Amino acid sequence: MGRHLWLLVTGCVWSVMMYLLFEHEIKPYFEYQKAPTYQAMFRDRKHAEFQRRSVWFADKRIGDAESLSEPVDGGGFRMRSRMLMHMRSFGGPSLPDDRAYMTSEFRLDSTLLLADFRLNGNLQGLPVSARGERQGDKMLLSYNLVILKKDGILVDFPRDATLSDNFLPYQGGGRLEDGKKWKIKMFDLGNMISMNKDHRVDMTELYAAVVDREKPPSSNSDKAAWKVWVRKQPSDEFAMYELWVDDEGTLLEQHMKINKLPCRIVLESRRAVNPDELKTFEWGVVPPK
């Protein structure tokens, strides 16, 4: 009788442990859907759009970022961005030039799949660059980071995947709804340019979830937006990024922490750009001299 009771108790304990393991460690991964695709973002877009954002560290404005997305002849889209900010507030070695300037260009083919991308910049006087070209379900990557150079690295990259980076892991997409969860494919540029021992390219996945609906902290309007948490793992207690996204899927505000202090990226303006304006378009964010 005692032996059977012991087996029953241990069986119940095992079942409870397996249930908790599934609920907290396994189930969360299955709840997250694929990220919004470029097809969903651009299939109804017929015009070019310009966005400008400010970058804040604690209460100090340290930079600006601009982006321009435009349809191209023959179908497809081109997305370009410029970012310039001061790095001194983040700590680390003190260099004569504390500015970071980055440009990017992403090209979508006629089926609105990512065809290739280019990243170029100058981080506190040090030039960096990276590029990628789609080859089926893989991305052929190359990068040059001063002391580190790699050519022709094949990385798994599904055909309908979107690509983001550490600066703006979510750059907009389809309409959100309460409880929506999805995965973000991120190109870990931060790992590439850091002086850690890895020096490798990572295509990592982050986990985004709509957690609330509220007014963005920096907004002067009382209009509510979707609050999104982006975590490294679905079960993480705290978010790596907090986002506020409007009903059209536009990123209004992003918060992250650097050295335990808040870094905010805030949308300041957004407007359509007509074909005549595109011919003479000039960036407000320009390379440092």
- Which has the minimum average pLDDT: 3-7, 44-48, 137-141? 3-7
* pLDDT of 200 higher than 60: no
Give the pTM.
0.79
Reply yes or no on whether the pLDDT at 14 is more than 80: no
142-149 contacts: CB < 8 A, separation 24 or more? 143/192, 143/201, 145/192, 145/193, 145/199, 148/192, 148/199
Distances (CA, A) of 176 to 41, 172, 279: 12, 10, 34
Q: Check pLDDT > 90 for residue 143.
A: no
What rounded mean pLDDT belongs to the chain?
A: 80
Higher per-residue confidence, 81 vs 5: 81
Say which residues have a Cβ less than 8 Å from residue 108's Cβ, sequence separation at least 6: 38, 42, 76, 77, 78, 79, 114, 115
pLDDT of res. 22: 34
Task: Report domain extents, the chain.
Answer: 30-279
How high is the pLDDT of residue 18? 38
**pLDDT grade for 44, boundaries at 50, 70 and 90:** confident
pLDDT > 70 fraction of the chain, expressed in percent and rounded: 76
* pLDDT band, very low/low/confident/very high, at 6 (cuts 50, 70, 90): very low
CA–CA separation, 164 vs 240, rounded Å? 15
